[in-house]
Amino acid sequence: MIVLAIRIEVEIIFKNSYKVFFSREQHEKIAMKLINDVVTHLIDPNIYYSRLSFFESGREAINIKYEKSKRAKNPQNKFFMRSALIS
């Protein structure tokens, strides 16, 4: 969780500090890739924690997962349910 928190905080710091630079989508994608690579190199150089996908997730991936979980709570949408006993 610390690795994920550091990734998110670093993203927020850079985006708030360099708003004009990050306003272009291409700049944001390249910069976030490079920033995540540096965080991985500093905190997890042997890539032990990066094997767990949620530690490598960015804010966009977390938001997608959150939106899917909200839709899964809809009783009409039983596809995302885990139990075979759901009626």
**Greatest alpha-carbon span in the chain:** 52
Supply 3's token pair.
């690795």
pLDDT in tens, 18-32: 999 999 999 999 999
Cα 47 to Cα 63: distance, rounded to the nearest angstrom: 24
pLDDT in tens, 8-59: 899 999 999 999 999 999 999 999 989 888 888 888 777 776 666 655 566 6
Cα 27 to Cα 75: distance, rounded to the nearest angstrom: 41
- Per cent of the chain over pLDDT 90 is 25
21: Cβ contacts below 8 Å, ≥ 6 apart: 27, 31
pTM value is 0.53
Rounded to 5°, angle at Cα 65 from 63 and 69: 115
Domain residue ranges in the chain: 2-56, 59-87
